[in-house]
Amino acid sequence: MEDQQCIITNSYTSPVGELILGSWGDSLCLCDWRYRDMREAIDRRISNGLNAEFKEGDSEVIRATIYQLDAYFSKELHHFTIPLVLVGTDFQKLVWNELLTIPHGQTISYHELSRRLGDLGAIRAVASANGANAISLLVPCHRVIGSDGSLVGYAGGIRAKQKLLELEGMSEQLSMF
């Protein structure tokens, strides 16, 4: 199988947990927590959506992603510039594209995210799409919090979410409950 038809994967050990990186062609399609719920379902969705198989290896996209992740965790990078390919339903992509508009160091609630998408009744669907995000950190689902400011739901775990928000300067506003 040619590399273009493969999703090239490699791992990245971040200060808050291990990530699996995946590139497809010239884009990143995966930056997700190795040990998370839905790991198999997300991998299957990406593989089926791109009609490609996973193959461990290295690529320019993975190297560039590692470079930018290192800079992010060193507080030297606030905006990722890696090309992304989002694999999901139209609604999921709509949610993920809205997540991309949340600036570094800021959070919004699921309620606000639903409002921005024009449907306050879609909070559960928005939360579900947020949970299905396969490109953590670059598509910043960690910046979505409960309406009361609590840290709720994150594929990497609540502690990882807390650490990421602290890294972005949000420590004073955080509530674990």
The sign of the CA dihedral 69, 84, 49, 135 is positive
C-beta of residue 114 within 8 angstroms of C-beta of residue 76: no
Q: Which two tokens stand for residue 99?
A: 């997540």
DSSP states along the chain: --GGGEEEEEEEEETTEEEEEEEETTEEEEEEESS-TTHHHHHHHHHHHHT-EEEE---HHHHHHHHHHHHHHTT--SS----B---S-HHHHHHHHHHTTSPTT--EEHHHHHHHTT-GGGHHHHHHHHHT-SBTTTS-GGGEE-TTSB----TT-HHHHHHHHHHTT-GGG-B--
Which of 6, 29, 31, 141 does the annotation list as catalytic?
Answer: 141
Catalytic residue status for 141 = yes
| Residues with catalytic function | 141
